[in-house]
Structure 1
């Protein structure tokens, strides 16, 4: 069975393709993607864009737990981009798909293929200004 991320529970009403990958962390049994996540207007946590932002972005983390197998190719091309504000990111998630028991994540930072539990998405509360 082949699925794309919008069909994963908790991934409805977000756009990974328009989000920014701030960090990728691999630990024994876990993979985490730390994101500046774009929320679509239909997302329950959606709010007006903050000053200087073009859309509603929120800090978020995608976690794959119970990782049984992980392959990351293209790591040598990982170079963060720095925007005008000085913030660094690794581009976006071009795709996140599941084919049977394997997840595939593609982006400017390479390709990660892993077997794990279904990913979870946690949106962090906004920082007080």
Structure 2
């Protein structure tokens, strides 16, 4: 049965399609995506957007553990953009789906097919204080 990422534990209130992929790394047994992740207001880590931001973004990492097979096609087709902060931006995750332990990721950076355990999402650091919440 095919599932989309919002059904994965921990991904429910994140929106990958408007997040920014900052890095994709493949090492023996692990694949990671570094993101500037867009959180939906229903996410427990959501805070009001900072001045100049259009939404709540947080640094995050998607980790695919125990990778047993990986195929990455379409690499290098699109050059990364340079964001306002000077960081490289490889576009978004257009699609992340699963069929059993087979995953498919699509984005401007290519197409990745892999076999791994369930990915997990880790939000980095602590959030900026929300000025609308009492201290």
TM-score normalised over the length of structure 2: 0.90
Consecutive aligned runs of 4 or more in structure 1 exceeding 3 Å deviation: 126-129
Deviation at 1:78, TM superposition (A): 4.2
SS of the aligned residue for 2:55 comes to coil
> Match for residue 115 of structure 1?
115
For structure 2, the residue ranges without an aligned partner over 5 or more in a row are 130-135
Q: Which has the larger radius of gyration?
A: 2
Deviation at 1:50, TM superposition (A): 1.2
> Match for residue 12 of structure 1?
12
User: CA–CA distance in 2 between the matches of 1:14 and 1:116?
Assistant: 21
> Match for residue 73 of structure 1?
73
For structure 1, the residue ranges without an aligned partner over 5 or more in a row are none
The change in CA–CA distance for 1:87 and 1:76 in structure 2 (over 3 A counts) is closer
Q: What RMSD over aligned residues (CA atoms) do the two structures have, in Å? A: 1.5
TM-score normalised over the length of structure 1: 0.94
Aligned residues: 129
> Match for residue 37 of structure 2?
37
> Match for residue 96 of structure 1?
96
Deviation at 1:76, TM superposition (A): 2.6
